[in-house]
Amino acid sequence: MKNEKDGLISNILNKLLNILNVQEVNKVKEILILEMKDIEIKYKEKSLTTAEDETSKVIKKFIACKKLAGLTDRTLKAYLSELAMFFKNINKSYKSISTDDIRVYLAISKKNNNEISIDNKRRYLNSFFDWCFNEELIERNPVKKINKIKAKKQVREAFSDIEIEKMRSVLTYEKVYAQKKYQKETRLRNIAIFETLLSTGVRVTELISIKKEQVEKGQDSLVILGKGKKERPIYLNARAIIAIKNYLKERKDDNEYLFISHPIMHLNNQKEEISSCTQSCIECMVRKLGKTVGVEAYPHKFRRTAATIAVRKGMPIEQVQKMLGHATLNTTQIYVNVSDIDVKISHEKYLN
């Protein structure tokens, strides 16, 4: 340590020679030696940087494995974002993380997140460290000792029958933001999207992936690729079939997807680019529709509504689970919105 201290003092003195004379520099030297006699100097090693680089490499490998396992880009981004945030806050190598580090991180995160979000963080970290353990990169998973964070299960509201009819009634005359020649097509597309969401309860990501060839013959069922790249059949009711048929009659393009978007305006006489509808496109359309009639509307609410209607009409909840593509029945039960009135009617039917 002496050589490191002497080297530091020498560096300081050499720099002072540019602004002080020799006598003054010697005086400063005496002061530094006196003040630093009980101080040990150790230059900062690059071990932290090395640890950060190593952790980054392990995270990239983990994400690559998850991608290979079939996780969606959206899920992969969530994993990457959470891991980046965690290691930035903890500032330690993945090999040095303890259970207490995880607990402290989750406790701090509680200030700005609800219980569901905190448990999602726990799940992401558990998945990462579990993978590290299986890859024999660490001796134990520090998240294993942390129990699942319980959150109050809330059944969110589905659309009421009146709300559905309010939205349906304005779809035929609402203002459509599209070029004049595509206004009728866009209006019919919106009606078809509305009826398909209500009939099938599909996720938006599943909806926008449907190909035109799957429904051109007017069939009432088709197979979609759902969450986790699992195939499942979905079924169209009469309203959805007719709405899609009317929409396709108006289509003059050769795009392979069922629901497409046209450019709002023609710029610099460039060739028009027709593309499949995006998730944000559907989101904006549904929210705008709801706002027009004073209803809180978003695409996922159609999923809950389809499940609720199915149960009310007598579909066993196990079949609703298959319809929605849920891995567990517990998830489906959260989606189903059964009111006290429904319970009262059933009580009168079965117990009176």
229-259 pLDDT, tens digit per residue, is 788 989 999 999 999 999 999 998 889 999 9
Q: Tell me the C-alpha distance between 78 and 184, whole Å.
A: 38
CB 297 within 8 A of CB 204: no
* Domain ranges for the chain: 2-35, 47-134, 161-264+272-350
Q: How many CB atoms lie within 10 A of CB 205?
A: 16
Q: Tell me the C-alpha distance between 337 and 188, whole Å.
A: 29
The topology (CATH level 3) of 161-264+272-350 is hpI Integrase; Chain A (1.10.443)
Q: What is the pLDDT of residues 184-223, one digit of tens each?
A: 999 999 999 999 999 999 999 999 999 999 887 777 888 8
Three-class DSSP category at 137: coil
106 against 39, higher pLDDT: 106
Label the pairing between strands 221-225 and 275-276: unpaired
Within the chain, strands assigned E span 221-225, 231-235, 260-261, 275-276
The topology (CATH level 3) of 47-134 is DNA polymerase; domain 1 (1.10.150)
Residue 172: per-residue pLDDT: 85
Nearest of 228, 184, 202, 173 to residue 215 by alpha carbon = 202
The owner of tokens 């963080």 is 121
Provide CB contacts within 8 A for 249, sequence distance 6+: none
Residue 130: per-residue pLDDT: 95
On the question of a common fold for 47-134 and 161-264+272-350, the answer reads no
Q: What is the pTM of this model?
A: 0.65
Q: What's the half-sphere exposure (Cβ side, CA atoms, 13 Å) at 9?
A: 22
Residue 229, by phi and psi: left (phi above 0), alpha (psi -120 to 50) or beta?
A: left
Most confident of 83-87, 177-181, 318-322: 83-87
Residue 297: per-residue pLDDT: 94
